Structure 1
Amino acid sequence: MRPIAFSEKLQLVLKSLSVSRAGLAAALNVDKSLVGRWASGAVMPSEHNRSLLTQYIAQRIDGFSMLDWEADINAFSARLGNETGTGSSTMQDWIPDALLEEATRGAKRRATAYEGIWRSTRYSSDLPGRFLHDITLIRCNRENIIEFTSGIEGVRYRGRALLLQHQLFSIAADEEAVAMMFGIFNGVARQKAEVLDGLSIATLRDAGGSPACSAVVMHRIADLTGAADADTQLFEASVAAQNPLAEERAVPQDIQDHLARTASQDTPGLMRMLFQNSMARGPLLEPHSAG
């Protein structure tokens, strides 16, 4: 079984049994970071640990066995007692059908324009005048739902995005910190996206979990290979290689100016990324040389 296929099934197990990664790790007597790597698809559990995991599930789902891991994702989901498999079913509970249908159509037509590895740039909340970088993996699943994982050092936000008109509406969660993140990003109309910008809302890592809204510019740094495992490994390698704190004077002045002017001068307290001033674009066209 491929690691990414196992990770999808493990995430279904966690949701179906309403158990956290930390809770599962305690039950199996393994480190919670190991369960996190299983769930991300970074590694596969050993035969011994998969046997322990199977026994754990069998105590809650009668007759569950090692053979059940070989079922396809929809059959596996049904084996856990879910009425449907992964994908749009989990989103239909809280998103109106008309919006979900439009987002699914949009993803079917345009998701490939956004798939890839991205590096974001945003202001640091702790160090005035400095900038932070995150790495984000964006890809579309078999149900035409855009999925993404954002990472910075040991933090991982995993979520989904709806493509509506020319905007990406996203929601993600960090299960370890029990935190959520929301975003709205300007997209591109026809070209393959190379730059995106928008607003991200999350909580700071301070004692009170203070809400913060950040202006963000994202640059594509790699295309997907088409192999899910290889793309996940590329994402993790990119996170590991990326220094979260940008070097001083490393962020181009036009990016600094763009992020700075999102705060409205005429409406205090409002941060906005106006579409008419958006930096979102496709690839730059090379000028034709004189023949």
Structure 2
Amino acid sequence: MRPSLFAEKLQLVLKSLSISRAGLAGSLNVDKSLVGRWASGAVIPSEHNLSLLTRFIAERIEGFTMLDWERDLPAFTARLGLAAGPVDGAMRDWIPDALIEEATRGARRRASAYEGIWRSTRYSSDLPGRFLYDITLIRCNSEGIIEFVSGIEGVRYRGRAMLLQHQLFSIAADEEAVTMMFGIFNGVARHKAEVLDGLSVATLRDAGCSPACSAIVMHRISDLTGDAEGDNQLFESAVAAQNPLAPKDEVPEDIRRHLAQTTTPDTPGLMRMFFQTSMARGPQLDPATGS
């Protein structure tokens, strides 16, 4: 069994039994750093320790055996009596396990770089030459999954994102309008992200719900406080305060040029956000102070 797959199963065990890593270590009489290495996917337990762990689970989940570790993740989740979530259930029917595992590792390492409240700028589909603003809250949930909600006036798209290499692949839904949105955004390699850019595909609010692809630049406007309810209120306040239609000449020229370059006369109908010209970045250093 791959260490990363065992780590996911161990996280499910901890959740199912409502026990911490330290509590499990104490019950198994092993060092808590060892349990931490199991949970991070650094190593898998020795045969002796796996036997101890299995016996510990069997005392709490009737009939649990060593063979249960060989189950695939959805079956293992069900064996523990947990409901399969989107990542553990339906998503595995159409996204390869290797990509889900890589996205999970990426989120554990780098999700905090993207957490915050953002304002996005994109072209208006109805008013040529004008721009629209959206507000988005991005955070990592307790299971290490990147979640987000995007709002403009009364519309709310809620979804999840997969961090693969330096790109965020996102999918979201507006339940009231019964429609979906897909996006691919350039990320940052090391630093905390301050600017992101990418492409988003959704349907217009016209009579035919026409599909449209928008080039978007996102700027961080606030960090998260750590209080989920408080952060939700900050997000809703930002949506309420934001005029969705950007005032004329407010959008900086460099943003206008960057969004304009996604379409070119020689490739009609094709939108591109080239990585080599991406605006995605972390904090900018002050040349005078170096900070």
3-state DSSP class of the match of 1:159? strand
Map residues 257-276 of structure 1 onto 2, 5 A cutoff. 257-276=257-276
1:237 equivalent in structure 2: 237
3-state DSSP class of the match of 2:117? strand
**Aligned partners of 1:138 and 1:89: how far apart in 2?**
21
Map residues 185-264 of structure 1 onto 2, 5 A cutoff. 185-264=185-264
2:106 equivalent in structure 1: 106
1:140 maps onto 2:140 in alignment: yes
CA contact under 8 A between 1:152 and 1:239: conserved in structure 2? yes
3-state DSSP class of the match of 1:92? helix
3-state DSSP class of the match of 1:273? coil
Gaps of 5+ in 2: 1-76
Map residues 70-149 of structure 1 onto 2, 5 A cutoff. 83-84=82-83, 86=85, 88-90=87-89, 91-149=91-149
C-alpha deviation, 1:265, in angstroms? 3.1
1:160 equivalent in structure 2: 160
2:278 equivalent in structure 1: 278
Q: Which protein has the larger Cα radius of gyration, Structure 1 or Structure 2? A: 2
TM-score (norm 1): 0.70
3-state DSSP class of the match of 2:276? helix
**Aligned partners of 1:104 and 1:252: how far apart in 2?**
36
**Aligned partners of 1:289 and 1:93: how far apart in 2?**
52
1:52 equivalent in structure 2: none
**Aligned partners of 2:122 and 2:135: how far apart in 1?**
12
CA contact under 8 A between 1:264 and 1:272: conserved in structure 2? no
CA contact under 8 A between 1:87 and 1:145: conserved in structure 2? no
Deviations 1:170-225 (A, max 9, x none): 00000000010000000000000000000000000000000000000000000000
CA contact under 8 A between 1:116 and 1:137: conserved in structure 2? yes
Gaps of 5+ in 1: 1-76
**Aligned partners of 1:85 and 1:203: how far apart in 2?**
29
**Aligned partners of 2:288 and 2:169: how far apart in 1?**
37
2:288 equivalent in structure 1: 288
**Aligned partners of 1:288 and 1:131: how far apart in 2?**
34
Q: Structure 2 counterpart of 1:253, which letter?
A: E
**Aligned partners of 2:230 and 2:84: how far apart in 1?**
24
Q: CA RMSD in A?
A: 1.9
C-alpha deviation, 1:95, in angstroms? 1.4
C-alpha deviation, 1:151, in angstroms? 0.2
C-alpha deviation, 1:85, in angstroms? 5.1
Task: Kindly report structure 1 stretches of 4+ aligned residues shifted beyond 2 Å.
Answer: 82-88, 90-94
**Aligned partners of 1:86 and 1:239: how far apart in 2?**
29
Q: Structure 1 counterpart of 2:137, which letter?
A: L
Q: How many residues align?
A: 212
C-alpha deviation, 1:269, in angstroms? 1.5
1:172 maps onto 2:198 in alignment: no
C-alpha deviation, 1:94, in angstroms? 2.4
**Aligned partners of 1:268 and 1:248: how far apart in 2?**
27
**Aligned partners of 1:101 and 1:143: how far apart in 2?**
13
**Aligned partners of 2:129 and 2:106: how far apart in 1?**
37
C-alpha deviation, 1:145, in angstroms? 1.0
TM-score (norm 2): 0.70
3-state DSSP class of the match of 1:93? helix
**Aligned partners of 1:100 and 1:106: how far apart in 2?**
10
